[in-house]
Amino acid sequence: MSKPRYKTGRHRVAKLTREGKAFVFVSVGVAFAALNTGNNLVYLMLGLLLSLILLSMVMSELVMQRLEVARRAPRRAFSGEPARVEYSIRNARPWTVSYALEVDDWIEGVPPGRGSFFVKIAPGEIADAAHVRVAPRRGVVALRGYRVRTRYPFGIVEKYKIYDQPSEWLIYPAREPVRHAWPSFERRGEERHLERPGHGAEPGGLREYRAGDEARSIHWRRSAALGDLVVRERELEASSIVQIYVNNALPDGAEAGWYRTFETAIARAAYLVGEASNRGAAVEVVARNGRSLLVERGVPPDAAWRFLALLEPVPARELADPVFRRGAHVIDAGDAEAVAA
Amino acid sequence: MSFERVLKVVTYLIAGLGLYALTLGGTFGVFSMFLVALGFAVSWFAEPPLIATPAWTRGWTIAAVGFFVVQVLRGITGASILELALEYVAMLQVSRLMNRRTGKDHNQITVLAFLHLIAATVLTTSVAYGLVFIGVLIVTPWMLTITQLRRELEETVEIDPVERARLFTERDVVGSRFLLTTALLTLPIFFVTLALFLLFPRVGLGFAAVHGYGGQPTTGFGRNVELGGFGTIREDPTVVLRVSGPAELLGPPGTATLRMRGTSFDKYNGREWERSESNHEPIPSEYGSYPIVRFPDRDRDFELKVVLDHLDEPVVFVPDGAVAIATPPRLAGGGEVRRRIVQSRGFDFRYDLRENQGLNYSVFVSRDRGEWTKGSLLGEDVGNLTQVPSNLGRVGALASELTADAATDRERAERIVAYLRDSNTFRYSLTLPKVEGRDPLEVFLFEARYGHCEYFSTAAAMMLRTQGIPTRNVSGFLGGSYNRYGDYYALRRADAHSWVEAWIDNHWVTLDPTPPARNAVGPARTWFSPIRDFLDAARTRWSKQVVGYDLRTQTNALRKAFRFASTVRNFFRGKSAHDTRGNIADTNDTTSNRSLLVRVAIFGFVLLALGLMVFLVRRFRRSAREREAIPPQGRAAVRVYHELESALERRGVPREPGVTPLEHLEHLEGLAFDGVDDVREVTQAYVRARFGRSGLSPADLARLRASVRRVARGTPVAPGMKTP
């Protein structure tokens, strides 16, 4: 979760709720009765009903005054899986309490759902609430900001206040479990080395200590001799790499079925990425037109998921065959069976 | 109280007010009322899990449908549709109260209560409705707000059920502060309601006007009255007539005794008085004035303003000396409808019974007593006015004996009245003489020698008639208690009185033979009397200013408002009492407007002063709280840090809400902010002093201030750098 950045709202929208419409309907009936009968007591009732509508509009505006809103979206959200979105609201008014506020993401063209609900925010206080959002598809969701909604005090008028804060929310693909016979990713001495730094078992050389390096990797004797901290670099073993292949070559005349299969392959790939990482492998997603960053062992595989989230089909004629690392464990996500290199 | 408990109490308040409104006007039967009250009380104890069972809900649904069928059948068999409808809507409310589970159920209860209030507008115009309405004004914000909160909580799936249950059972949400602030919403609702009420154009089309309510039953003003009819109401304090007028006529407040003449009877059959048949002649009116003797003249006449309640007899009461009546036309169907006031034999005035409501009118009383009259003998049936039942020979003999040496009719009348009133032979009493089949007048005059005003007036009338003097028995009101809250004299049913008018020297002369002891009998003033007076004043205002508010009043009010606005404008422009066209404005209006302006200004000033006081007190308390929260040694550091915040804001890197000073420092370090060392020094000193309770020496303070100044002098940060 990122640190909240508070925004103050500008645009306002008010509309009648279902109950509000019924209320207005009754008021019109009473107005007709008042005009028709000339009975002052009916006029009195009409005055009361209309004053409730007016006050509802004013009060809903007042409880939304001087609110500062901040959003914290989860860094990792998978399509089809609930993601917890948190909102913080600060009531910057000195005296009055805000009641019954609901905050939701403002996505252009998407009707508001049930967002984070705040029962009460005392003057000067910050309140936090969260709601669960399920993204329907992978990719980038363009957020225009967020909207604060209230039906306070009487539920007659629903007022939105829209907070502009354009941002993007990357939704990872859905994860579709697949059965796979995983090899063991324990260290094996005879493995080929990739001649690139990583969390493998073979020492590769020494370098200066950098923030974040593990203490156990410090070469103490050499550090003492040099008077500065140096760490051992290790090389990654090829056999601990899992390459997940997603064929994104778009054949000529592809129909909807192809796209469904493609999305299924991506969903399976996303699952395999997680599984491989959990099993201690380094993971890389390979597509026809590129590949993700190699996610090392013990590192969260977000880079691979991000790659999958943004992977688009490319016309097949422009593409070369995929190239896999020698010794790596390759899985074709479009196939139930693992493919050996 | 917990959320749930508050909601329950408020729900019962609003439902109770709605149901009570239905019972106003007396259309609701006693038995039905009892059943509704019982259902209302029992529903209080209906709680989950019982009311959450499907069988319970189904049972009530079937009961509602079944009751509807029963009501339809009763309607077919001839029961009053209005009463059946009222019973049904009341039953629906009880059904809802028995099934109040969700916020939606509570909303339905509110809607039903509103419908009850709307239905009650055709049942009553009493001030009780006004009180119910004020109650609803107070309760409605609570009810709607709490119900809405409950609905939101019910519909918010993200709230953990345990947390939701906790919110419902604790005071977190609906505390005393919530109730107080929500109750304060009553004020804007009241004022907006009032404004809308006053501003809605009163153009009643009158297609569906319903006036189902009847007037107060009264004795003595119908076609006939039985001897003894008045005594029973001498204890009844119900006000029926309110009279106000100039002190020149009525004297200082509280000193007047008013005699308001209602109707007269000319035929007596030995048991009861009767009015003989006559034509009801409409009095021709002009601009709302109905001349009895002549058209009113404000220079020659006093004006008495009268508010008459709706009685079952539409009698227009007038005092002695009345020369004209004035009442504005009624507004109906979008236009003015001239009221019909008729005069019939016996100086009897009545308005149109079809109006089915009371009457606000003015009576003009001539300053010249020479003009005082109560009609003439022309058109009267003199035979009736001198008619004496044949069995009253003994009465005639007594009268002759009393008037033996009287030379004129006036002397005869005085002797008879003096005998009855001043001789101490007769005693005023509310106890009726035991007649036992004999002639009541003879029993009164010769045996019992006690009775109430009707006995005295009947005896006098009969005795005068035996002497050949045309006489009529008059019913009206005598007395009046001053109501200081409304600045009027209230005449109650207990003030109903009977006296005599005799044709003497070509004039109708008022003769009142009832002993003054009558004044000692009547409703006593108790501790409750001032409250009763206050309520009656409120009721009168309600009747005049709310129920009687019409297009004419509206136009006048608007005219006054414009005039007031013009006065205000002139006041600020420094103009005199000249209007914009150079004419001299109405001096009275200008004076009263100026006085109103001064009052408004004083009120505004007081309001402003109070507001300022509240603001200062609150600010003082707040700063005191803040002072308490900050240790003394930290206050100087807080001040310096505030200065630093101002400097940073000017440099374009303000500390955002929700970001701690140390986080902000970290952010500035990330930006490689010019002057970050100074910021660090001040921030760390602030944190140490504010939270670590380490003090700052004057030298420390001076150093920190110098740091702040250096920060302030730096160049503003480019906008792109704000983002870490």
With helix as H, strand as E and coil as C, how does B653-697 read? CCCCCCCCHHHHHHHHHHCCCCCHHHHHHHHHHHHHHHHCCCCCC
Cα(B304)–Cα(B363) distance, integer angstroms: 5
Tally the domains of chain A.
3
By Cβ distance, the residue of A44, A130, A155 closest to B197 is: A44
Q: Cis omega before residue B49 (within 30°)?
A: yes
Contact A119 B208 (CB under 8 A): no
Tell me how close the Cα of B631 comes to any Cα of chain A, in angstroms.
Answer: 21
pLDDT at B165: 72
Contact B158 A45 (CB under 8 A): no
Q: Within a domain: residue A61? A: yes
Closest Cα in chain A to B103 = A155
Q: Which residues contact A303 (CB under 8 A, 6 or more apart)?
A: A292, A293, A295
Given a cut of 60, whether residue A29 has pLDDT beyond it is yes
pLDDT band at B581 (very low <50, low <70, confident <90, very high): very low
Report the CATH number that the domain containing residue A150 is assigned in CATH.
2.60.40.10
**Residues A251 and A221 grouped into a single domain:** no
Q: What is the edge-to-edge ordering of all strands in the sheet holding B281-282?
A: B281-282, B341-344, B348-351
**Residues A30 and A140 grouped into a single domain:** yes
Chain A residues with CB under 8 Å of B120 CB are 41
For residue A13, count CB atoms less than 10 angstroms from its CB and return exposed for 0-12, middle for 13-18, buried for 19 or more: exposed
pLDDT band at B210 (very low <50, low <70, confident <90, very high): very low
Determine which of B363-377, B668-682, B699-713 has the lowest per-residue pLDDT on average: B363-377
Biggest CA-to-CA distance, chain B? 129
**Residues A142 and A251 grouped into a single domain:** no
pLDDT at A307: 93
Cα(B275)–Cα(B349) distance, integer angstroms: 13
pLDDT, one tens digit per residue, over A164-191 is 888 888 899 999 888 888 887 765 444 4
**Residues A232 and A243 grouped into a single domain:** no
**Residues A160 and A82 grouped into a single domain:** yes
If we measure between CA atoms, which residue out of B251, B203, B236 comes closest to residue B309?
B236
CA distances from A242 to A253, A282, B605 (A): 32, 6, 82
Domain boundary among A171, A201, A221: A171
By Cβ distance, the residue of B118, B188, B549 closest to A40 is: B549
**A215 lies in which domain range?**
193-237
Report the pLDDT averaged over residues A16-45.
Answer: 87
Burial A235-263 (b: 16+ CB within 10 A, else e): bbbbbbbbbbbbbbbbeeeeeeeeeeebb
pLDDT, one tens digit per residue, over A208-220 is 777 666 777 788 8
**Residues A20 and A163 grouped into a single domain:** yes
| Average confidence score pLDDT of chain B | 82
Given a cut of 50, whether residue B306 has pLDDT beyond it is yes
Given a cut of 50, whether residue A329 has pLDDT beyond it is yes
Cα(B548)–Cα(B358) distance, integer angstroms: 10
Q: How many CB atoms lie within 10 A of CB B660?
A: 11
Q: What is the edge-to-edge ordering of all strands in the sheet holding A202-208?
A: A193-198, A230-237, A202-208
Report the pLDDT averaged over residues B461-484.
Answer: 90
pLDDT, one tens digit per residue, over B324-335 is 999 887 766 556
DSSP state of B196: H
Q: Is B278 helix (H, G, I), strand (E, B) or coil?
A: coil
**Residues A209 and A327 grouped into a single domain:** no
pLDDT at B181: 84
Cα(B455)–Cα(B499) distance, integer angstroms: 10
Q: Is B174 helix (H, G, I), strand (E, B) or coil?
A: coil
Q: Cis omega before residue A153 (within 30°)?
A: yes
For residue B199, count CB atoms less than 10 angstroms from its CB and return exposed for 0-12, middle for 13-18, buried for 19 or more: exposed
Biggest CA-to-CA distance, chain A? 104
Chain A residues with CB under 8 Å of B205 CB are 35-36, 38
- Contact between B505 and B409 under an 8 Å Cβ cutoff? The reply is yes
Strands B289-291 and B322-326, bridge-based pairing: antiparallel
Cα(A121)–Cα(A67) distance, integer angstroms: 10
Q: Within a domain: residue A263? A: yes
If you write DSSP's letter for every residue of A50-100 in order, what string do you get?
HHHHHHHHHHHHHHTTTEEEEEE--S--BTTSEEEEEEEEEE--SS--EEE
Higher pLDDT, B418 or B253: B418
Given a cut of 60, whether residue A149 has pLDDT beyond it is yes
Given a cut of 80, whether residue B293 has pLDDT beyond it is yes
| Average confidence score pLDDT of chain A | 81
Closest Cα in chain A to B207 = A36
Best of A51, A91, A118, A121 to mutate (most B CBs within 10 Å, chain B)? A51
Best of A40, A88, A157 to mutate (most B CBs within 10 Å, chain B)? A40
Q: Which residues contact A103 (CB under 8 A, 6 or more apart)?
A: A69, A71, A87, A89, A115, A116, A118, A129, A146, A147, A148, A149
Whether ipTM tops 0.95, in short, is: no
pLDDT at B15: 95
pLDDT, one tens digit per residue, over A294-320 is 888 778 899 999 999 999 998 887 777
Q: Within a domain: residue A187? A: no
Determine which of A66-70, B50-54, B322-326, B579-583 has the lowest per-residue pLDDT on average: B579-583
If we measure between CA atoms, which residue out of B504, B517, B270, B183 comes closest to residue B373?
B504
Cα(A245)–Cα(A319) distance, integer angstroms: 14
| Helix/strand/coil percentages in chain A, nearest 5 | 25, 35, 35
**Residues A267 and A149 grouped into a single domain:** no
Q: Within a domain: residue A163? A: yes
The strand ranges marked E within B548-637 are none
Report the pLDDT averaged over residues B474-496.
Answer: 87
Please calculate the CA angle B335-B341-B342 and round it to the nearest 5 degrees. Answer: 145
Tell me how close the Cα of A88 comes to any Cα of chain B, in angstroms.
Answer: 9
Report the pLDDT averaged over residues B32-61.
Answer: 89
- Contact between B301 and B501 under an 8 Å Cβ cutoff? The reply is no
pLDDT, one tens digit per residue, over B393-440 is 888 899 999 888 888 989 999 999 999 988 888 888 877 778 777 888
Question: At A236, which helix (H) or strand (E)?
Answer: strand A230-237
pLDDT band at A3 (very low <50, low <70, confident <90, very high): very low
Cα(A295)–Cα(A269) distance, integer angstroms: 14
pLDDT at B215: 56
Q: What is the pTM of this model?
A: 0.63
pLDDT band at B254 (very low <50, low <70, confident <90, very high): confident
Q: Is B483 helix (H, G, I), strand (E, B) or coil?
A: strand
- Contact between B476 and B497 under an 8 Å Cβ cutoff? The reply is yes
Chain B residues with CB under 8 Å of A102 CB are 152, 156
Determine which of A106-110, B445-449, B578-582 has the lowest per-residue pLDDT on average: B578-582
By Cβ distance, the residue of B133, B144, B548 closest to A153 is: B144
Which of A7-11, A302-306, B342-346 is modeled with the greatest confidence? A302-306
If we measure between CA atoms, which residue out of B122, B337, B124, B204 comes closest to residue A38?
B204
Tell me how close the Cα of A47 comes to any Cα of chain B, in angstroms.
Answer: 4
Q: Which two tokens stand for residue B590?
A: 């200008």
**Residues A226 and A248 grouped into a single domain:** no
Best of A45, A60, A98 to mutate (most B CBs within 10 Å, chain B)? A45
Report the pLDDT averaged over residues B605-631.
Answer: 78
**Torsion over CA of B433, B438, B443 and B444, rounded to 10 degrees?**
60
Q: Within a domain: residue A68? A: yes
Please calculate the CA angle A99-A103-A105 and round it to the nearest 5 degrees. Answer: 170
Report the pLDDT averaged over residues A71-78.
Answer: 83
Q: Which residues contact B487 (CB under 8 A, 6 or more apart)?
A: B244, B253
By Cβ distance, the residue of A40, A50, A126 closest to B546 is: A40
Is the C-alpha dihedral spanning B703, B708, B714, B720 positive or negative? positive
pLDDT, one tens digit per residue, over B490-528 is 888 888 889 999 998 888 889 999 887 666 666 666 777
Chain A residues with CB under 8 Å of B145 CB are 99, 152-154
Cα(B545)–Cα(B557) distance, integer angstroms: 11
Given a cut of 80, whether residue B629 has pLDDT beyond it is no
- Contact between B115 and B17 under an 8 Å Cβ cutoff? The reply is no
Phi/psi class of residue B652: alpha, beta or left (left: φ > 0; alpha: ψ in -120 to 50)?
Answer: left
Given a cut of 80, whether residue B371 has pLDDT beyond it is no
Q: Within a domain: residue A295? A: yes
Domain boundary among A237, A272, A289: A237
Tell me how close the Cα of B550 comes to any Cα of chain A, in angstroms.
Answer: 8
By Cβ distance, the residue of A68, A126, A155 closest to B151 is: A155
Burial A42-64 (b: 16+ CB within 10 A, else e): bbbbbbbbbbbbbbbbebbebbb
Helix axes B186-199, A40-63, angle to 10 degrees: 130
Please, how many CA atoms are within 13 Å of residue B295, restricted to the half-sphere of its CB?
Answer: 6
Question: Phi/psi of residue B104, each to 5°?
Answer: -65, -40
pLDDT at A204: 54
Tell me how close the Cα of B48 comes to any Cα of chain A, in angstroms.
Answer: 24
Q: Within a domain: residue A184? A: no
Q: Within a domain: residue A182? A: no
**Residues A152 and A11 grouped into a single domain:** yes
Q: Which residues pair with B502 in a beta bridge?
A: B471, B509
Cα(B409)–Cα(A2) distance, integer angstroms: 111
Report the pLDDT averaged over residues A94-100.
Answer: 86
Q: How many CB atoms lie within 10 A of CB B73?
A: 11
If we measure between CA atoms, which residue out of A30, A196, A120, A7 comes closest to residue B172?
A120
**Residues A17 and A166 grouped into a single domain:** yes
Cα(B652)–Cα(B673) distance, integer angstroms: 11
Given a cut of 70, whether residue A332 has pLDDT beyond it is yes
- Contact between B149 and A119 under an 8 Å Cβ cutoff? The reply is yes
**Residues A40 and A70 grouped into a single domain:** yes
